[in-house]
A = this chain, B = another copy of it.
Amino acid sequence: MHDPLSRTFAALADPTRRAMLARLSSGEANVSELAQPFLKNMSLPAVTKHLKVLENAGLVTKGRNAQWRPCRINGEPLREAGDWMELHRIAWEEQLDRLGAYLKLKSKGAAHGRKKQVQ
């Protein structure tokens, strides 16, 4: 699983990591701020491991300030994954539209057939 898109989707496949991204969507935070809401249910190493997955997938970057290293969301991989979803959502919806049009045509044909019988 080395392609970037697979790494992005794998990183998103966990509620803790999605919650971290949701938190970072509203603004940058340092590691302790980011970890705090999860420490009731998991250990700090478990939280930092999740953060590491997000960093490795390129979804989160750490600032360069030595004193305070704020975590920031990096939207580019999210955007690429979103584009993939959107592309297939459109294709799937077009498929449904074609099916709908076919069924409409078929029911019109059937109605026409009934009309002919009545005449």
Residues of A within 8 A of B (CB): 1, 3, 5-7, 9-10, 12-15, 18, 21-22, 25-27, 73, 75, 78-79, 81-82, 84-86, 88-89, 91-93, 95-96
Contact = CB atoms under 8 A, between A and B. Distances in A.
Nearest to A7: B13
The 4 closest A-B CB pairs, nearest first, are A25-B91, A9-B13, A10-B13, A82-B85
How many protomers of this protein does the assembly include? 2
A22 B84 CA distance: 10
A92 B26 CA distance: 7
A13 B86 CA distance: 16
Contacts of A95: 25-27, 73
